[in-house]
Amino acid sequence: VELYNEMDYTGNALPAVNPAPWPEGLRGIAPPRLDHTLVTAPEPGKAIEFFQTVLEFRLSEMLQAPDGTIIAAWLWQRPAPHDLAIVPGKPGGFHHAAFVVDSADALFRAADILTMHKARIDYGPGRHGITRGTTLYFFDPSGNRLETFGGYTAYQMDPDCRAIRWTQDQIGPAVFYYSQELNETFLSVYT
Ligand SMILES: [Fe+2]
């Protein structure tokens, strides 16, 4: 991990003075920004503690075993449901990176565009129980899973927010709210 405290400011596709609501000429899904990443760890508890104590991330939501062990966590620094999530898996595993979209409508449009371009859809459009965000997972041609994510109930984190707890027996709806169960590839396919 390399951390920076300085970088060049490039702005976005809108002018810094008197900007329009959105830039003209956008192509494809045109997500406004990256939102979060999900990675795997063989001992999630250790990784979660590292990000909390060394990098000052906070917990927004967690999945907890009956004995109290944290199995997976959603961690934030921006006032958003998560910047990073950690679930059980191999060391250094990359599960997905997510691009935000503005609404559930934009998520369905993303699904249309991906299908028009014959992308392999992994899951969705659907909704997560954790974060309540709408979701669409797909694979890019290199085999990495990506997500468009958004339209969530717009909760924002404050420093005094306390972590929401999900119990292990509810892992199905926690991850995929509508189907209430994990799909086969979710925990087995990542890079
Ligand atoms: Fe995600």
Q: What is the pLDDT of residues 136-149, one digit of tens each?
A: 999 999 999 999 99
* The pLDDT of residue 4 is above 80: no
Query: What is the enclosing helix (H) or strand (E) of 106?
Result: helix 104-116
**Given phi > 0 = left and psi -120 to 50 = alpha, else beta, which region is 151?**
left
Percentage of the chain exceeding pLDDT 90: 82
For residue range 79-103, what is the model confidence (pLDDT) as tens digits? 999 999 999 999 999 999 999 998 9
For residue range 8-65, what is the model confidence (pLDDT) as tens digits? 988 889 999 999 999 999 999 999 999 999 999 999 999 999 999 999 999 999 999 9
Residue 155 designated active-site = no
**Given phi > 0 = left and psi -120 to 50 = alpha, else beta, which region is 164?**
beta
* The pLDDT of residue 154 is above 70: no
Q: What is the mean pLDDT of the chain?
A: 94
User: For residue 187, what pLDDT is reported?
Assistant: 82
> Rounded to the nearest whole angstrom, what is the distance from the C-alpha of residue 90 to the centroid of ligand 1?
18
> Rounded to the nearest whole angstrom, what is the distance from the C-alpha of residue 170 to the centroid of ligand 1?
18
> Rounded to the nearest whole angstrom, what is the distance from the C-alpha of residue 145 to the centroid of ligand 1?
10
Residue 82 designated active-site = yes
Residue 95 designated active-site = no
**pLDDT-derived band at 153, boundaries 50, 70, 90:** low
> Rounded to the nearest whole angstrom, what is the distance from the C-alpha of residue 124 to the centroid of ligand 1?
12
Residue 9 designated active-site = no
Q: What's the pTM?
A: 0.91
Strand, helix or coil at 111?
helix
d(CA 131, CA 125): 15
Residue 96 designated active-site = yes
DSSP code at position 161:
P
* The pLDDT of residue 151 is above 70: yes
